[in-house]
Structure 1
């Protein structure tokens, strides 16, 4: 499910006129100067680096991990979409029957019924193509999984996303900022989130921030730090003294979505203070779990995993060019203007004075 990535990109790339129609204001996401100036790649945050994954590749040049912020909810949109597609089939079935039946149109009532059904089916097709595709593409007929590749030779990070969520981007490793924990030691433990990583415009020079979630959802705050430390040490020092991660397949498998769906259910049962509530919820879990898992599998089957661009596949090999970092000019003119209109959201304040720092985003 790419709703998180879509909303982040949508909020930063829509036209000012569209934003006005939707009555959307600009957000204030100011950060302190000390936070954005810090090089997070040099500070150890855990003594127990662990590859939690899922990982798709791990070698001397790069490691690759699954991205996606709401993978644990994947399958819901798929099942809703399939039901709506079923409604569409419900209208097409009688049309096919009418056309294939000899001498069906014997009177005016039959002709009226045929025209009425065709008109309804045409309206539904229009609505599906014009509007509903923006919903089902979050899980169907799109990239199977967001991938994030950390190349230790080029010291770059590559993020592969659908175009409607920002597309494939390239940033420097040194510009990365873990978002689930900061200098104060605060974290997002207990929120069932993935490990969030950001690239702030103060570092990258790109007008807005790019964020991506990696790995599995977790309720343990230490998991964020352990996995980030694993990636950090790999990028800084190589594979020595690091555990080799178990590699996952890109292909769809029936049980891929089981873990992501069952963990929140078990957590809810565990935290429930009422035995009665637990007993009432268990049948719901038993019914929903197979539906969610089936939806996840169907979503994987109806998506594809595209190859990286050639320059990224070859990055780090002897004699091959280094991919250029993502720039504003990589996007269409209308999107460029929308991004420039959103750049003021990413303010940076001086720690001592509290005043906004002019770093070229004004």
Structure 2
């Protein structure tokens, strides 16, 4: 489910005219100068680096981990979409059935079948148009899109590559030194109990890009220490290599029936664990019996109806001897209309002096 990435990118790249129609205002993302100027890649965050994953690749050149926020809720939009898909599909089938019956002259109720065929054709045309024109913005968050967002950390080029759908900002390239952990430390708080993924960001103060880019990596967790341990694992890999680090278990890109089970069962077990009485636990049993299989099946269907594209060639070869280094993402990489929308949003990312509280001019105004 890419609703988090989509909303974040929409808030940064939506046209000002569309923003007014939707009554969307600009938010205040001001941060302290000490927060955005710090190099987080040099400071240890944990004494227990752990590869929680899921990881797709791990070698001397790069490691690759799954990205994406709200992955544990994947499957809900899939079931809603499939139920809505049934309307144009069934109306098309009934229309063709009526036409075939008339063509084969298998009925004497010709007028009735003609009216039925026209009715089903209208239903199909209207619903199909609504799907293509409007609902595609919803079902593409889980269906007929990239199977999983991937984040690749290349220790040779010292870059971070994020592979996302185009409607979520597309594939981007940033320097490793510009990365900022957002779930802990100076840029955030210990988010224990929130069931969130590990959030990483790239602030415009460092990247030079007008707005910030953020990405969630790994699994959802209720334990704040998990964020620090996995971040420390990635940090040590990028700074020192694979020496003295545990080898992560690698996952497959292919869809598997049990992929979505872990993401759904952990929140449910957490609710049962926090239950204050036997009654609460008993009330959760239908959730395990009915909703858990439903979520898991929806997750699997979503994976099957998506695909995992290859990285661009320049990123696949990055770090090899004699191969070029991918250029960092720039404003000019986007269409003119998107560039203007991004520039209109750049004032949201202000930086304030720690002592005076005044905005610092870092070329983003």
Q: TM-score, length-normalised on structure 2?
A: 0.97
**SS in structure 2 of the partner of residue 69 of structure 1:** coil
* Aligned-partner Cα distance in 2 for 1:91–1:68: 36
* Aligned-partner Cα distance in 1 for 2:283–2:192: 27
How do residues 330-345 of structure 1 correspond to structure 2 at under 5 angstroms? 330-345=333-348
1:357 maps to 2:360? yes
**SS in structure 1 of the partner of residue 42 of structure 2:** coil
Query: Where does residue 252 of structure 1 map in the other structure?
Result: 255
- What is the CA-CA distance between 1:284 and the residue it aligns to? 2.3
1:219 maps to 2:222? yes
Query: Where does residue 161 of structure 1 map in the other structure?
Result: 164
1:181 maps to 2:205? no
**SS in structure 2 of the partner of residue 167 of structure 1:** coil
1:294 maps to 2:272? no
**SS in structure 2 of the partner of residue 183 of structure 1:** helix
**SS in structure 1 of the partner of residue 186 of structure 2:** coil
> What whole-Å deviation, never above 9, does each CA across 1:197-244 have from its counterpart, x for those lacking one?
000000000000000000000000000000000000000000000001
> What whole-Å deviation, never above 9, does each CA across 1:285-318 have from its counterpart, x for those lacking one?
3100000000000100110000000000000000
Residue pair 2:182, 2:188 contacting (<8 A) in 1 also: no
Q: How many residues align?
A: 362
RMSD: 1.1
Residue pair 1:105, 1:111 contacting (<8 A) in 2 also: no
Residue pair 1:158, 1:169 contacting (<8 A) in 2 also: yes
- What is the CA-CA distance between 1:106 and the residue it aligns to? 5.0
| Aligned partner (choices 326, 330, 352) of residue 327 of structure 1 | 330
Query: Where does residue 134 of structure 2 map in the other structure?
Result: 131
How do residues 1-362 of structure 1 correspond to structure 2 at under 5 angstroms? 1-101=1-101, 102-103=104-105, 104=107, 106-183=109-186, 186-362=189-365
* Aligned-partner Cα distance in 2 for 1:9–1:304: 22
> What whole-Å deviation, never above 9, does each CA across 1:60-97 have from its counterpart, x for those lacking one?
10000000111100011011111111222221221121
In structure 2, the CA distance between the partners of 1:184 and 1:163, relative to structure 1 (3 Å rule), is: closer
Residue pair 1:58, 1:64 contacting (<8 A) in 2 also: yes
* Aligned-partner Cα distance in 1 for 2:263–2:126: 37
In structure 2, the CA distance between the partners of 1:95 and 1:45, relative to structure 1 (3 Å rule), is: same
- What is the CA-CA distance between 1:108 and the residue it aligns to? 3.1
> What whole-Å deviation, never above 9, does each CA across 1:221-274 have from its counterpart, x for those lacking one?
000000000000000000000001010000000000000000000001111112
* Aligned-partner Cα distance in 2 for 1:185–1:179: 5
* Aligned-partner Cα distance in 2 for 1:150–1:284: 38
- What is the CA-CA distance between 1:184 and the residue it aligns to? 8.5
- What is the CA-CA distance between 1:137 and the residue it aligns to? 0.3
* Aligned-partner Cα distance in 2 for 1:219–1:129: 38
- What is the CA-CA distance between 1:183 and the residue it aligns to? 3.1
* Aligned-partner Cα distance in 1 for 2:208–2:364: 9
- What is the CA-CA distance between 1:116 and the residue it aligns to? 1.6
Residue pair 1:5, 1:68 contacting (<8 A) in 2 also: yes
- What is the CA-CA distance between 1:281 and the residue it aligns to? 2.0
Where do 4+ consecutive residues of structure 1 move more than 4 Å?
none
Residue pair 2:49, 2:231 contacting (<8 A) in 1 also: yes
Q: TM-score, length-normalised on structure 1?
A: 0.98
